[in-house]
Chain A
């Protein structure tokens, strides 16, 4: 879209970033009027080299260089246990650096220009203004397959109650978390101060006595999402390098692979046995991990089938993972996530 390349001339005198001439960040040649010559050596994404931003924002860039958004270490470490040592070397060289790592977000992806997905970007966020945030054009691009459309209701079903109340990504995922705190985490689950429902919804503060009792009864046994996920969310599976994945809406309830004492919403991991077959990686330890991970489904509702009636889980067992509903040829670790809720003594 050509509009994505148009710069607001008025910004040049207002914004300190433009005190430096364009080639200072973008290279190329500002003095020549032929398009080809002017663009020779052009750097499209100057913030890929963070030293450009570090000239003024060193404190942020130093931390950001270790953040999960930049390192994408979560993707590597999430699948790593499935590989033998030799396979991991192959994965790092053939897949991670060329595919997963290409998704890393640079400063400009959030503050200047929408990140490209499938080769397409909607262009400059606000005519090259350096914006603090614009979740609908930035977060939504990379997280637009599952989380963002679930949150806004575009995937079907009702939008997340927080979205309806006017909240967006950065209201829960604070800038300190997005920029990182200088620690090179291997997974988002290691981050201690990541968003938590309880940061705002303090236990015991419920106005409705039935809700208070229900929260006390299920504390430590069921995650908030287990009851408050509004319905089906997107589950991608059968992902193959270069082909992409297939998706379908589902709600899956089962034990969290990270804490088998807690019932929660599960989401299918797109990786299947032959995902990396084209790259010569068989995944010798495929069964070390299940095909489902606990997921913070971003379609939270105050009232759901499960908050209205105990029977939804304790009698009907709606959406619970069973042997029959496990994916075919899945990991042997999947069965450990099945839970059968106990009947209630009335």
Chain B
């Protein structure tokens, strides 16, 4: 009975840890400058510079 309780407690603890770290990682990803800029269409539009056009080339195949 005690072992069973320990097992359930361990499972819950692991699940809690996983949830905590996943949320922490997601929060970090969400607040990074990469996400801040690359999800803001007007900002990206203002920063975008068209690449130089290389010599005319068409696909293979």
A residues within 8 Å of B by Cβ? 1-3, 5-9, 12-13, 18-23, 26, 28-33, 35, 38, 103, 117-120, 128, 140-148, 242-244
> Does A144 lie within 8 Å of B35, measured CB to CB?
no
If A8-B39, A29-B33, A117-B57 are given as contacts, then 13 extra A-B residue pairs at C-beta distance below 8 Å, sorted by A number, are A1-B48, A22-B34, A35-B37, A35-B47, A38-B34, A118-B54, A118-B56, A118-B57, A118-B58, A119-B51, A119-B53, A144-B61, A242-B55
Q: How far is the CA of A29 from the CA of B36 in the complex (A)?
A: 13
Given A33-B33, A118-B57, A148-B61, check contact A19 B26 (CB 8 Å): yes
> Does B39 lie within 8 Å of A120, measured CB to CB?
no
> Does B60 lie within 8 Å of A143, measured CB to CB?
yes
> Does A2 lie within 8 Å of B45, measured CB to CB?
yes
Min CB–CB distance A267 → chain B (angstroms): 11
> Does A141 lie within 8 Å of B54, measured CB to CB?
no
> Does B29 lie within 8 Å of A2, measured CB to CB?
no
The count of A-to-B residue pairs whose CB atoms sit within 8 angstroms is 105
Can you name the residue of chain B whose Cβ is closest to the Cβ of A29? Answer: B33
- What residues on A are CB-neighbors of B39 within 8 Å? 6-9
Q: How far is the CA of A103 from the CA of B58 in the complex (A)?
A: 12
B residues within 8 Å of A by Cβ? 22, 25-26, 28-30, 32-39, 41, 44-45, 47-48, 51-61
- What residues on A are CB-neighbors of B30 within 8 Å? 9, 12
Q: How far is the CA of A119 from the CA of B58 in the complex (A)?
A: 11
Q: Quick one: which of B32, B48, B52 contacts A30, CB cutoff 8 A?
A: B32
Q: How far is the CA of A130 from the CA of B43 in the complex (A)?
A: 23
- What residues on B are CB-neighbors of A1 within 8 Å? 48
Q: Quick one: which of A7, A147, A242 contacts B38, CB cutoff 8 A?
A: A7
> Does A12 lie within 8 Å of B33, measured CB to CB?
no
Q: How far is the CA of A32 from the CA of B36 in the complex (A)?
A: 11
Min CB–CB distance A85 → chain B (angstroms): 27
Given A5-B48, A19-B25, A118-B53, check contact A142 B33 (CB 8 Å): no
> Does B55 lie within 8 Å of A148, measured CB to CB?
no
- What residues on A are CB-neighbors of B34 within 8 Å? 21-23, 26, 28, 30, 38
Q: How far is the CA of A25 from the CA of B22 in the complex (A)?
A: 18
Interface centre among B28, B33, B48, B55, by most A CB within 10 Å?
Answer: B33
Can you name the residue of chain A whose Cβ is closest to the Cβ of B59? Answer: A144
> Does A32 lie within 8 Å of B33, measured CB to CB?
yes
Q: How far is the CA of A12 from the CA of B27 in the complex (A)?
A: 10
Can you name the residue of chain B whose Cβ is closest to the Cβ of A143? Answer: B61
Can you name the residue of chain A whose Cβ is closest to the Cβ of B36? Answer: A33
A-B contacts, 20 of them at CB < 8 A, read A1-B48, A5-B38, A6-B39, A6-B41, A7-B38, A12-B29, A18-B29, A19-B22, A21-B28, A21-B29, A28-B34, A31-B32, A35-B37, A38-B33, A118-B53, A118-B55, A128-B38, A143-B60, A145-B61, A146-B60
Q: Quick one: which of A33, A35, A145 contacts B59, CB cutoff 8 A?
A: A145
> Does B59 lie within 8 Å of A141, measured CB to CB?
yes
> Does B61 lie within 8 Å of A142, measured CB to CB?
yes
Q: How far is the CA of A302 from the CA of B41 in the complex (A)?
A: 47
- What residues on A are CB-neighbors of B38 within 8 Å? 5-7, 128
Q: How far is the CA of A140 from the CA of B54 in the complex (A)?
A: 19
- What residues on A are CB-neighbors of B51 within 8 Å? 119-120
- What residues on B are CB-neighbors of A23 within 8 Å? 32, 34
> Does A142 lie within 8 Å of B60, measured CB to CB?
yes
Min CB–CB distance A113 → chain B (angstroms): 13
Given A2-B48, A9-B39, A21-B25, check contact A145 B58 (CB 8 Å): yes
Given A38-B33, A119-B52, check contact A12 B26 (CB 8 Å): yes
